[in-house]
Amino acid sequence: MAVLSDSSRSFRAVVGRNGSTLWCALFVLAVLLGAALDRSLPLAVYLLSFWHYYLYWLAFAFGAIPFDVFKRDAVAMKTVSVAALAAVYLAAPLDLASLIVIACGILLNVRAAAALGIDRTYYGHEVAGLPPRRITAFPYSLTNHPMILGNVAAFGGTLINPEFRQHWWPLAGLHVALNIGLLVMELAGPRRRRIVRLGGGLAFASVLCGVGVAAVRAGEEETLPAVLLGAAAVACAWALYRCYAAREKP
Q: Give the C-alpha separation, 163 to 87, whole Å.
A: 14
pLDDT at 247: 56
Residue-level pLDDT at 152? 96
Model pTM?
0.89
Amino acid, res. 101: V
H or E element, residue 151? helix 146-158
Identify the pLDDT of residue 221. 56
Q: What is the pLDDT of residues 49-80, one digit of tens each?
A: 999 999 999 999 987 789 999 999 999 999 99
pLDDT tens column, 80-104: 999 999 999 999 999 999 999 999 9
**Who wins on pLDDT, 215 or 32?**
32
Query: Which one-letter DSSP state was computed for residue 192?
Result: G
Above 50 in pLDDT, residue 114? yes
CA distances to 81, 91, 162, 173, 242 from 95, rounded to whole Å, are 21, 12, 8, 18, 43
Buried b (16+ CB within 10 A) or exposed e, 29-62: ebbeebbeebebbbbbbbbbbbbbbbbbbbbbbb
